[in-house]
């Protein structure tokens, strides 16, 4: 269930970004079963090569496997089992090993949970490998359907053995997660002319009141007001210029006089209007 929830999180994130993605899904146990059936013992070498299938193509992977001393028969048997477009039902008939069948069962369960969660962006891909050795079950990668950006926008999977290696007894600790590729995502957003707008609502400008201003910033954030603070002592003028350049709508100036009076100076960056307000009134103004 957790594997499905993680993929559901990815779907929600990409929908928020208006990105039309597909999530390719596979299972390491199934891959191990396929390698066993092809009589391949150097599993990690094979997985590293298979992981490059989308980038260098079938011929490139065959060449790399041959260079790694795999036999022609092994390579032929391997590619008879990782044909593009194969369904889970089709691969189920071809893989006989217990580990491979366990991987297929996990995939069937995963897709049933994905359906229950309303996830419709996942697609089984028997050739998806994820080259890292710590994966133990589900693996997945997210790609944009139509884009010049070919890198994955997110990837993850299950790694039940990794955490336990750092614990006494080297025991299994269930774990699953996803990592998002911020650079390719930003590249895609630029390509689609939908770069995220500035989200900071107020820039706090301390005048030798850094500690007090930090407390106020924290209070603003606790009220769900996106606030930034200048800790570089750039001065009021440069900070106002900075806020104007970035399109930050408000600046909050906090000096000793403001703290003594119990009123902070809130500046509307668009109109230039300034008001001396209590913090509670600042919060009301910004929410």
Encode pLDDT of 166-217 as tens digits.
Answer: 776 677 888 999 999 999 998 888 888 776 565 799 999 999 999 999 999 9
Reported as a pLDDT band with limits 50, 70 and 90, residue 10 is very high
Same domain for 259 and 169, yes or no, is no
Question: Per the domain annotation, does 95 fall within a domain?
Answer: yes
Same domain for 44 and 146, yes or no, is yes
Reported as a pLDDT band with limits 50, 70 and 90, residue 148 is confident
Same domain for 247 and 216, yes or no, is yes
- What does the block give as tokens for 64? 């790399």
Question: Per the domain annotation, does 24 fall within a domain?
Answer: yes
Averaged pLDDT, 22-34: 94
Question: Per the domain annotation, does 257 fall within a domain?
Answer: yes
Which pLDDT value is given to residue 121? Answer: 95
Last residue of a domain, one of 160, 191, 222: 191
Give the C-alpha separation, 78 to 72, whole Å: 10
DSSP labels, 19-46: --EEEEEEEHHHHHHHHHHTT---HHHH
Question: Per the domain annotation, does 196 fall within a domain?
Answer: no
Last residue of a domain, one of 191, 218, 237: 191
Which pLDDT value is given to residue 161? Answer: 82
* Whether residue 259 has pLDDT greater than 90: yes
Give the C-alpha separation, 212 to 68, whole Å: 63
Instruction: Indicate the number of domains in the chain.
Output: 2
Which pLDDT value is given to residue 195? Answer: 62
Encode pLDDT of 260-287 as tens digits.
Answer: 999 999 999 999 999 999 999 999 999 9
Reported as a pLDDT band with limits 50, 70 and 90, residue 162 is confident
Same domain for 111 and 236, yes or no, is no
In sequence order, the 6+-apart residues with CB closer than 8 A to the CB of 3 are 110, 113, 137, 138, 157, 158, 176
Give the C-alpha separation, 50 to 58, whole Å: 9
Which pLDDT value is given to residue 252? Answer: 98
Helix (H) or strand (E) holding 276: strand 274-277
Give the residue numbers spanning the domain of 263.
202-286
Last residue of a domain, one of 135, 157, 191: 191
Question: Per the domain annotation, does 79 fall within a domain?
Answer: yes
Same domain for 103 and 213, yes or no, is no
- How big is the CA angle at 93 (ends 90 and 99), to the nearest 5 degrees? 110
> In the chain, what percentage of residues exceed pLDDT 90?
65
SS percent in the chain: helix, strand, coil, step 5: 45, 15, 35
Selection from 109, 140, 102, 124 nearest residue 7 by Cα: 140
Which pLDDT value is given to residue 125? Answer: 93
Residue 47, domain CATH = 3.30.930.10
Same domain for 182 and 159, yes or no, is yes
Encode pLDDT of 98-134 as tens digits.
Answer: 999 999 999 999 999 999 999 999 999 998 888 777 8
Encode pLDDT of 60-75 as tens digits.
Answer: 989 999 998 899 999 9
Same domain for 175 and 219, yes or no, is no
């Amino acid at each position: 269930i957790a594997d499905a929830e993680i993929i559901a999180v990815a779907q929600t994130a990409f929908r928020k970004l208006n990105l039309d993605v597909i999530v390719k899904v596979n299972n390491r146990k199934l891959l191990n079963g396929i390698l066993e059936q092809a009589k391949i013992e150097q599993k990690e070498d094979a997985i590293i090569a298979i992981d490059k299938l989308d980038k260098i193509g079938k011929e490139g992977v065959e060449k790399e496997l041959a260079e790694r001393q795999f036999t022609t028969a092994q390579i032929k048997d391997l590619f008879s089992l990782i044909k593009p477009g194969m369904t889970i039902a089709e691969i189920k008939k071809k893989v006989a090993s217990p580990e491979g069948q366990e991987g297929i069962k996990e995939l069937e369960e995963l897709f049933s949970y994905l359906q229950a969660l309303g996830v419709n962006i996942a697609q089984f891909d028997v050739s998806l490998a994820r080259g890292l050795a710590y994966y133990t079950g589900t693996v997945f990668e997210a790609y944009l359907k139509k884009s010049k950006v070919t890198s994955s926008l997110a990837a993850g999977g299950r790694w039940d053995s990794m955490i336990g290696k750092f614990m006494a007894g080297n025991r299994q600790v269930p774990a699953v997660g996803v990592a998002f590729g911020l650079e390719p995502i930003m590249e895609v957003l630029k390509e689609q002319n939908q770069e995220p707008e500035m989200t900071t609502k107020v820039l706090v400008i301390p005048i030798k009141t850094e500690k007090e201003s930090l407390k106020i910033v924290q209070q603003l954030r606790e009220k769900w007001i996106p606030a930034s603070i200048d800790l570089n002592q750039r001065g009021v003028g440069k900070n106002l210029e900075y806020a104007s350049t970035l399109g930050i709508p408000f600046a909050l100036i906090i000096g000793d006089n403001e703290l003594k009076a119990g009123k902070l100076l809130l500046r509307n960056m668009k109109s230039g209007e300034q008001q001396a307000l209590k913090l509670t009134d600042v919060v009301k103004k910004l929410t």
